[in-house]
Amino acid sequence: MTDHRIALIPGDGIGAEVLPPAVAVLDRVGARHGVTFRYDEFDWSCTRYLAEGAMMPADGLDRIRHHDAILLGAVGWPGVPDHVSLWGLLIPIRRQFRQYVNLRPIRVFEGVPTPVLGAVPGMDFVVVRENVEGEYSEVGGRFNRGFPDEMAVQEAIFTRPGVTRILDYAFDLAATRRGHVTSATKSNGIVHTMPFWDELVVEAGARHPNVEWRQEHIDALVAKVVLDPSRFDVIVGSNLFGDILSDLAAAVAGSIGIAPAGNIDPSGEFPSMFEPVHGSAPDIAGQGVANPLGAIWSASMMLDHLGHPEAGAEVLAAVTAVLANSPVRTRDLGGTASTDEFTTAVLDTLPPPRT
Ligand code: NAD
Ligand code: IPM
Ligand code: MN
């Protein structure tokens, strides 16, 4: 019997609706594989912020740093500025726990029509997003507030170690897949950081002679993701480019409700955090219609990360089978199922417990 201690942070809006399905799936598949989960739930959210003035307690990170992994729903709610809620919770976890890899796989599921191309056979790639530096930075400032010369300055930080380690991660990942990396930059317009990134890609390519790679400008690249998504294997990009690419890719595959993310500290020193790519979706929150697939797939990634890849694969296989063999799907995928109905279909499709 393996026992894992998981920190659960449901957060706001549909975050709290998609996390219970992920937990139900984990418990069911865990029982089959001799894995038990002990959960500690934290109410860190915009609701907490409005009541207590902080997204999480001052010692919040200490309370979760010894868990085996973190499962998060989504954070952010109207009434609390997004930069306050996200920099008060999600981003400190990513940074202080050195989760410098944001792993965002995407694929098209049989039976799910995609909005652009109908069916996209073979679309199956991973966005490797740099997760702790880049355009997301606190360096800069607001000046001359309220005056005609008002301005805002926002610095982007790209360090040799920071870029090198995410590139190496992407190349190593590609070596276990179809052996191809696409690096997204904008070196024709952003003249310091992006050419630097391109140079480091050349170095990473030389360290990984078994992996083919290509540099593409982000503007042309996004068009290809829409029009010819099956050509990609691993796409590596900066914090901002990786963020945008991952929602785009998920929408191309059917809905942003399906996409998972792993915020990984590859050293294992800190817990890694698994969460759907999507946000709290205030427009559909409270209706019980959110697609839990992104959260369930994130739980499957967590199983892989914790050393239970067979269990993770069973989860993905169950989701795939529900979509391929039944009409059960949520509204965002053109169906009528509720969050609970889709979850029940996945639970019923998982292999039965071993006796
Ligand atoms: P969003 O992802 O919440 O929603 C965008 C659109 O996609 C909405 O129309 C929504 O209904 C739909 N959608 C998203 N997830 C869905 C699901 N599982 N099933 C069905 N439909 C789904 O993005 P947003 O509107 O830009 O952000 C809302 C809030 O969430 C903001 O406060 C934002 O900062 C926050 N946010 C948080 C995270 C996170 O915690 N990791 C990620 C993204 C956005
Ligand atoms: C995501 C989200 C966050 C990000 C926001 C909410 C800060 O969009 O996890 O993709 O940009 O990282
Ligand atoms: Mn995003």
Task: Please check whether residues 300 and 185 belong to one and the same domain.
Answer: no
310 occurs within a structural domain? yes
Residue 277, pLDDT score: 98
Q: Does 255 score more than 90 pLDDT?
A: yes
Task: Please check whether residues 95 and 125 belong to one and the same domain.
Answer: no
Residue 108, pLDDT score: 94
Which ligand is closest in space to the CA of residue 136?
2
Task: Please check whether residues 56 and 157 belong to one and the same domain.
Answer: no
319 occurs within a structural domain? yes
- Taking only the tens place, the pLDDT of each residue in 278-325 is 999 999 999 999 999 999 999 999 999 999 999 999 999 999 999 999
Beta strands of the chain (E only): which ranges? 2-11, 35-41, 69-74, 101-107, 124-130, 140-143, 151-154, 180-185, 212-217, 234-237, 260-264, 272-276
Whether residue 76 has its Cβ less than 6 Å from ligand 1: yes
328 occurs within a structural domain? yes
Contact 6, 40 (CB under 8 A): yes
Pocket of ligand 2 (CB under 6 A): 76, 86, 90, 243, 277, 279
pTM for this model (two decimals) = 0.98
105 occurs within a structural domain? no
Residue 51 makes CB contacts below 8 A (sequence gap 6+) with none
Task: Please check whether residues 142 and 244 belong to one and the same domain.
Answer: yes
Q: How far apart are the first and last CA of the chain?
A: 15
Task: Please check whether residues 91 and 118 belong to one and the same domain.
Answer: no
- Taking only the tens place, the pLDDT of each residue in 168-221 is 999 999 999 999 999 999 999 999 999 999 999 999 999 999 999 999 999 999
CATH of the domain at 63: 3.40.718.10
Separation of CA 280 and ligand 1 centre (Å): 5
Residue 72 makes CB contacts below 8 A (sequence gap 6+) with 8, 9, 10, 11, 15, 19, 90, 93, 273, 274, 275
Task: Confirm whether the ipTM is greater than 0.95.
Answer: yes
Whether residue 275 has its Cβ less than 6 Å from ligand 1: yes
